[in-house]
Amino acid sequence: MKKGQKVRVLANNRVGTIIDSHVINHGGRRYVAYQVRFLKDKGEAPWFPAEKLSADFIEKASVVITGEEGSLFFTYSVNHLTQQTTVELTGKPDDLKEHHGLDAYLAAALLKGLSSDAKQPLQMTIE
């Protein structure tokens, strides 16, 4: 990592820019620490060890729901730089309209929970 590079702090997912770095020798090992100024906070610029920072802004998680009729695959990704989320749903069989039962109900509940409209109660029937 170098000065001017945008990074994400893994502990809290805040995005900032590296403004300084130092190499520290301790116990025969070398450690690198970076000073990060956050984009929305022009106050202090804390120091972080290199292992607590990431240059990757997209974080992904996958969920597989398997039922008697097939499987549903969710890929949920968050871009911490643009604050956008994406949900991709695929399945086997490929036609998602063919999925009925508990696996379809759980998939609908998961999508409902991930939506910004999650304050509404979940109202679905199992066919």
Residue 90 lies in a domain: yes
Say yes or no to pLDDT of 127 above 50: no
Report the CATH number at residue 44: 2.40.10
Residue 124 lies in a domain: no
Look up tokens 């730089």; give the residue: 81
Residue 120 lies in a domain: no
Pair (64, 45) in one structural domain: no
Structural domain for 20, as ranges: 6-54
Amino acid making up residue 24: I
Number of domains in the chain: 2
Residues 6+ apart with CB under 8 A from 27: none
Integer Rg of the chain from CA: 21
Are 53 and 34 contacting, i.e. CB atoms less than 8 angstroms apart? yes
Residue 123 lies in a domain: no
pLDDT tens for each residue of 29-59: 899 999 999 877 777 889 999 999 988 888 8
